[in-house]
Structure 1
Amino acid sequence: MSAGTYAPRPGAAPVGRMIAAQAGLETRMLLRNGEQLLLTVIIPALLLVLFSAVDVVDTGDGERVDFLAPGVLALAVMSTAFTGQAIATGFERRYGVLKRLGASPLPRWALMTAKTLSVLVTEVLQVALLTVIALALGWSPHGNPAWVVLLLLLGTAAFSGLGLLMAGTLKAEATLAAANLVFLLLLVAGGVIVPLDKFPGAVRSVLELLPITALSDGLREVLQHGAGMPAKDLVVLAVWTVLGLGAAGRFFRWE
């Protein structure tokens, strides 16, 4: 059979086009999932409005929204990059979706890239919505936006690695339970709503090493206090990023 018999020639599309298509699919699936929207959008927005309007927790001097907004932004990142991604990937693994995608022309690294892009797109929408709500409540942020972006990116990478590690090593049901439990525990003890100075000194020293604490404190330092580079928080997030992504790459099982 002579060359050029088939037009167009069969074969895989360029990798960039495959990643874009998969990222678009992942994003649409995420935005159409009611449970995911509850976790990633509605709960953070409700927490921001409720605790800004009602004096339930002593957030120190200044407007409550100035303390709460950075913490809720950190919570939104965790809800998407960790909790939502862990649950979705865990059930994709259980039902054989990942196994079939792994056998497709889409390389595995490209699949992870597409999932990461989907998370980033969702986070942009989350941050935009929560920022509008916070500004309407009287939030007055200041500081260098470059540090905010760097903190959000490192936080996303750290939580993505931990979420993929959980989804790739536990059963789907265990992932569902563990991811939601971690979300609730870190919501209370991660400096999101409750200031860390409310905890005993020894406990606070441990909590400061958590990725959610580093992200919320770093964002608060920049957006509330106008500080420069939050070096300590960036280092903590960088360490969690290396550990999480490294462990996910080493122990993640596709089926």
Structure 2
Amino acid sequence: MHQFRYDLLVFWRNGQARFFTVLMPLIFLVIFAAVFGDSTIEVPGGEVDPKQYYVPGLATLGIVSASLVNLVITVTTQRDTGVLKRRRATPVGAWALIAGRALSCVAIALATVAILIAVGLILYGVDLPASRVPALILVVAVGSLSFCCLGFALAAVIRSADSATPVVQAIVLPLYFISGVFVPSDQIPGWLLGVADAFPIRHLAVAMVDLFAPDGSLQLGHLAVVVAWGLAGLVVAVRRFRWVRQS
């Protein structure tokens, strides 16, 4: 818990991390609501107002940013500057260091999603039945932990902190567009959706959006795909993760 508190404090003191994780999804929500406000988007169970779609869609962006993007950048930087080496030399077990980081990612993701939903409810009249809130918390927590595992795996194969940001952005930005985060799924060609279905961002986005759909429910199949990707990332991280920079 001490490590968890420390990692949260590190995040809070990082202005860039706060902006891109918490404020960026809000900025996108305001922009998309203004641009697409007069249209409708087709979702399972009917059509919805764009705000009803973009709140959970952009919440997906917040989860991935908090759990994967920030983690990769922070871990690679701490590894290259020797911070991880010094922390590993302390009596604190490696499991506590990793668990503290993972818990902080989940907390940040939950807070980001809560802020987005609050703005959606207050300013845009987004509807989220109270009965679906537990399912929403489950999806956010499971998604965040899975992307944490993928973040540790990706950090293990990135050789330097200088390349962390361009590499991770080159991976996630195209997936945001073809997974229904920035562009509604009913406007994406089927073959592109087929490509997106091979990656976890698409399945997390579908699980999030469906909870806000008129006849929505917990999509365990899509959540299972996200978990499978997380387990694969965990295997890679266990085998490849290093506490010091590799020459």
The structure 2 residue matched to 1:144, chosen from 111, 122, 132, is 132
Which residue of structure 1 lines up, in the alignment, with residue 157 of structure 2?
169
Q: Distance in 2 between matches of 1:115 and 1:73?
A: 20
Give aligned-pair identity as a percent: 28
Single out whichever of 28-37 and 124-133 deviates more from structure 2. 124-133
| Offset, 1:203 | 2.3
| Offset, 1:58 | 6.3
Amino acid corresponding to residue 213 of structure 1 in structure 2: R
The structure 2 residue matched to 1:155, chosen from 143, 167, 174, is 143
Instruction: Please report the RMSD computed on the Cα atoms of aligned residues, expressed in angstroms.
Output: 1.7
Q: Distance in 2 between matches of 1:150 and 1:102?
A: 31
Which residue of structure 2 lines up, in the alignment, with residue 36 of structure 1?
17
Q: Distance in 2 between matches of 1:21 and 1:70?
A: 31
- What is the DSSP-based 3-state SS (H/G/I as helix, E as strand, rest coil) of the residue aligned with 1:144? helix
| Offset, 1:140 | 0.9
- What is the DSSP-based 3-state SS (H/G/I as helix, E as strand, rest coil) of the residue aligned with 2:198? coil
Amino acid corresponding to residue 233 of structure 1 in structure 2: H
Q: Distance in 2 between matches of 1:229 and 1:198?
A: 23
Q: Which runs of structure 2 are paired with 1:6-45 in the superposition (5 Å)?
A: 20-45=1-26
Tell me if 1:86 matches 2:72.
Answer: yes
Tell me if 1:98 matches 2:84.
Answer: yes
Indicate conservation of the 8 Å contact 2:53/2:212, yes or no.
no
Which residue of structure 1 lines up, in the alignment, with residue 172 of structure 2?
183
| Offset, 1:196 | 2.5
Q: Which runs of 5+ in 2 are unaligned?
A: none
Amino acid corresponding to residue 181 of structure 1 in structure 2: A
> TM-score, with normalisation over the residues of structure 2?
0.89
- What is the DSSP-based 3-state SS (H/G/I as helix, E as strand, rest coil) of the residue aligned with 2:48? coil
| Offset, 1:225 | 3.1
Q: Distance in 2 between matches of 1:79 and 1:54?
A: 24
Q: Which runs of 5+ in 1 are unaligned?
A: 1-19
Single out whichever of 47-56 and 60-69 deviates more from structure 2. 47-56
Amino acid corresponding to residue 100 of structure 2 in structure 1: A
Q: 1:27 to 1:96 in 2, by over 3 A?
A: same
Tell me if 1:253 matches 2:242.
Answer: yes
